[in-house]
Chains A and B, each alone.
Chain A
């Protein structure tokens, strides 16, 4: 069948995207510069007050940290699963999927139970006599990071795993036959081939982190406010135009960072392929 003849297959998806993504996005952008007349005051407020720049910078920093941590933890796990016999792979993947099926809200609340002043960790520390005073872990940046990594980790593991299963193991055998030591074969054949999928996972985790709301709201203090929290706050205060401006900024920052991350990843991949690590 010709391309043009099957083009209509895209129609439902296109309609859906226009109605529920493109149109609201346009509306958001309009709301950010019309209040009710054309104005750039909301963007000026964002740029002129250092507190808002801090929030943006923090959002990027936290999202990058979460994405990198997920990659550092997720990649070895995916590698390990990939080396297991088929049956055990299914079981392990199933175990990783279970927490993903639970609501983010519930998983976040679980962290409150774990990290609270009377929580599991503090009780354990007290029982072992390691601490006389309960540690303040809830409402800190550490709590937000830990929970975000825990929540997003399965996504990175699954993406890495999917990329690894595509790799032809004969290539690694070939490298070994041609004299590469195991570590060399891994670094110069396996790693570069899995890099693209890993990078995709990193970008997905980063993207999801940028819009994270519940976790910083429930586990973080005021110094852990991210853009999404700020948006919710401004909506509650009925500052809808300012909230819209924040939304536009979030969108632009996220898209910009994704392009930058992909670019940096490509560059890294090329260097790794050429000269090894």
Chain B
């Protein structure tokens, strides 16, 4: 199946590549520097060049990439053909009209990408999750935490807990524990009553949270020391915890899936070729596996998990069974509402 798909993908790419080859053009891609740049240059860029015959120019935009795009748009000369769009930049790009729509008929004519991967102005390039983690050895005999409602159930699962000292992706968990469906989360949170409901739910657990973590490292340390039995944390850190011999387990149910994207700036000179790049970046499991081996932030490349051991696959936030039970973190919502909610949250903590 995988080989068939790969062959099909390669054939499509090849078909596109032939006319392109004659032009010998360059695709300019903007992204972040550091490790991400290294791996991109090693894995994805050569594949793109090989498949299309185009040259690539990867620009590490160290400063504010959205500001650059805005300036280029204003000056009428867009230099980038494609770009990485972080979770927090995506809503800005949408709101300010900096991004071009993705043509999914062009990108994915066979509909291989799952819906969760497809945004109007970007395709998921990498993902991580904020998830509930439990210390299995601290659970009551024969019981396991399976949801945020269980996290709130201090009768069945007694013991200290921890949550992030931030309202974003904490209030959501409270609402989930209160029985709100994942699809309704942000509609509920967007109303004053919904907000009250989230805080009322947090009131219930307040006394059972001796410490609120302020960094991912701290949350893992607390779990590792046994200072808390249950905590939210970032999925990428849990493997390390398990490797150090701590019987920790992720509860994917109700996790917050954070995604960053690859998109196309408006007025990009090579709109269609940029789609080829996006296909290479997001739909090629053979390349993506190399990326994931270095950085545990997978995307939705079809068939990616066939390349992995069962164990590794099950630890990926985008593994179908895991992705299904999570909600997609809504950065647009938080970009618009963070100020007043955070003030309330900070003062609530001091009460």
Contacts and interface: CB of A to CB of B under 8 A. Distances in A.
B350 A118 contact: no
Interface string B219-235: 00000011100000000
A117 interface: yes
Contacts of A233: 346
A113 B52 CA distance: 59
Which of B160, B349, B350, B351 is the most central at the interface, judged by chain A CB atoms within 10 Å of its CB?
A: B350
B347 A139 contact: no
A237 B346 CA distance: 10
Which of A49, A52, A136, A222 is the most central at the interface, judged by chain B CB atoms within 10 Å of its CB?
A: A222
B210 A55 contact: no
B342 A139 contact: no
Contacts of B209: 222
Interface in A127-182: 136, 138-140
B210 A54 contact: no
A263 interface: no
A116 B227 contact: yes
A136 B226 CA distance: 12
Nearest to A50: B351
B178 to A, nearest CB: 21
Contacts of B347: 49, 51
Contact of A139 (B210, B226, B346, B350): B210
B210 A136 contact: yes
B325 interface: no
Given A221-B211, A222-B212, A237-B342, A138 B350 contact: no
Contacts of A25: none
Contacts of A118: 225-226
A200 interface: no
B227 A54 contact: no
Q: Looking at chain B's contact residues, is the secondary structure mostly helix, strand, loop, or mixed?
A: loop
A225 interface: yes
Nearest to A49: B347
Contacts of B212: 222
A232 to B, nearest CB: 10
A233 B349 CA distance: 12
Interface string B191-214: 000000000000000000111100
B346 A138 contact: no
Given A51-B350, A54-B350, A138 B227 contact: yes
B226 A117 contact: yes
Contact of B350 (A55, A140, A237): A55
Interface in A63-121: 116-118
Contacts of B226: 116-118
Nearest to A229: B350
A226 B3 CA distance: 61
A9 B346 CA distance: 49
Contacts of B227: 116-117, 138-139
Nearest to A52: B350
Interface string B335-346: 000000010001
A222 B189 CA distance: 24
A221 B211 CA distance: 6
6 nearest A-B pairs in the assembled complex, by CB-CB distance: A139-B210, A51-B350, A139-B211, A222-B349, A51-B347, A118-B226
Given A138-B211, A138-B227, 20 more contacts: A49-B347, A54-B350, A55-B350, A116-B226, A117-B160, A117-B225, A117-B226, A118-B225, A118-B226, A136-B210, A138-B210, A140-B210, A221-B211, A222-B209, A222-B349, A222-B350, A225-B349, A230-B350, A237-B342, A237-B346
Interface of B: 160, 209-212, 225-227, 342, 346-347, 349-351
Interface of A: 49, 51-52, 54-55, 116-118, 136, 138-140, 221-222, 225, 230, 233, 237
30 contacts: A49-B347, A51-B350, A51-B351, A52-B350, A55-B350, A116-B225, A116-B226, A116-B227, A117-B160, A117-B225, A117-B226, A118-B225, A118-B226, A136-B160, A136-B210, A138-B210, A138-B211, A138-B227, A139-B210, A139-B227, A140-B210, A221-B210, A221-B211, A222-B209, A222-B212, A222-B350, A225-B349, A225-B350, A233-B346, A237-B346
